[in-house]
Structure formats: C-alpha cells, structure tokens
Amino acid sequence: MSAKFKLIAIVVIGIFATAGTGLYMTQRPTARPISEISNQPSVFTPASAVEDIQAPERNKYKAIPLESISSVLQGSDPATLALNTFDNVVSERGTRKVEVVYPQPNQALVTITQDKAKFAASPIKYRVEMASFGRSLLVNSPPVWQIVWAGSQAQCLPGRRERIC
C-alpha cells in the first residue's frame, strides 16, 4: 500500500469515528441530577438559606460589611479564618476566647469574645457565619469555608454608669 492510501484511510476512519461518537453522545439519555436519584437531602445549602437560619441571633450584633474586611474570606479552618478577619482589632486588646459551632454540616458559627483590656470600655464579641461550598483539590482534603456574614457586639458591664454598648 502506498503512503497516500494509508493517509486517506486514517483520515476516513477518523471522520467515521468522530461522527459515530457524536451520534452516540446525542442519542444517550440525559443525566439526572444526583439530588433526584438519592432520597437523602442535599448536603449543600445555598448561602441565602444559611443567612435565613441565623437571622434572629444576628439582631444582637451590628453587621460588618464584608466589603470592608481586608483579609481573605475563604479558608479551610473556620477558627483561623475568623481570627484572621479581626486580627488587627483583636490583637490590640487583652485576651480572647474563640468558640466554633457547627449547627449543620455545611455551616460554621465562630464567636470571638475579646475580654476587656486597660483602655477598652467594655468587652467586644464578634460573630462570623460561614458556609462550606466544597473541597479543595483532593477528595480527602478539608472543606473550603467562606464567610457569609460578620458582626460585632459591645457588651455592657454591670454597674457602670456610662452605658457604652
């Protein structure tokens, strides 16, 4: 066989293979979403649903716009992410207590309580709500968390004449 004939045969076979694959792909039944297949509830909740869940508790805090936060809003550890968010404010004042609560598998609530320092009028409490939206590159890597809401609250001290809250 000559080289021209072999080249033409390869091109013709390639065209038929491509056309056959195209027909196979268009004739296949469409895939259904996993949520329709399984009877289990979906693990991920949209960010709007996460915001609606904690609305009553948020009323006690003054909201901090996420645009004003200069640190990264995503990370793999909720406590570290929250501390980095308020690092410049929290580090200037006394001691702090960090609490992390997971009310749902895809939701984390971090509360940072900043104890009163020498020059502070009252203790300050920060609340950071986060939602997970998947994992990083590897399957067994920790979930990636994103801050969806942040707020602060000044706590009144009992027995003080001036009420700075």
pLDDT at 16 over 70: yes
Give the residue numbers spanning the domain of 50: 40-154
Residue predicted with more confidence, 114 or 37: 114
Q: Residue 6 has which token pair?
A: 């072999």
Comparing CA positions, the residue from 30, 31, 28, 8 lying closest to residue 20 is 28
Q: Are 51 and 149 in contact (CB under 8 A)?
A: yes
Q: Residue 165 has which token pair?
A: 């809250």
In a domain, 5, yes or no: yes
pLDDT digits (tens, 9 = 90+) for 70-104: 888 888 899 999 888 877 655 555 678 899 999 88
Q: Are 63 and 151 in contact (CB under 8 A)?
A: yes
83 and 60 housed in the same domain: yes
Total number of domains constituting the chain: 2
Q: How many Å apart are CA 107 and CA 155, to the nearest integer? A: 25
24 and 47 housed in the same domain: no
Query: Would you call 13 exposed, middle or buried from its count of C-beta atoms within 10 A (0-12, 13-18, 19+)?
Result: exposed
45 and 82 housed in the same domain: yes
23 and 54 housed in the same domain: no
pLDDT for 29 = 62
pLDDT for 57 = 79
pLDDT for 109 = 93
pLDDT digits (tens, 9 = 90+) for 119-165: 556 678 889 999 987 766 666 778 889 999 999 887 665 555 544 44
pLDDT digits (tens, 9 = 90+) for 26-73: 776 655 554 454 444 444 444 444 444 455 778 888 988 888 888 888
Q: How many Å apart are CA 142 and CA 74, to the nearest integer? A: 12
Global pTM? 0.58
State how far the alpha carbon of 49 is from the alpha carbons of 20, 54, 96, 104, in Å. Answer: 45, 9, 30, 12
Which helix H or strand E contains 147, and what residues bound it?
strand 143-154
pLDDT for 52 = 46
Q: Residue 162 has which token pair?
A: 């001036």
24 and 105 housed in the same domain: no
- Over residues 8-32, the mean pLDDT reads 82
24 and 61 housed in the same domain: no
Residue predicted with more confidence, 117 or 17: 17
Q: How many CB atoms lie within 10 A of CB 141?
A: 11
52 and 111 housed in the same domain: yes
Comparing CA positions, the residue from 139, 164, 144 lying closest to residue 154 is 164
Classify 94 as helix, strand or coil. Answer: coil
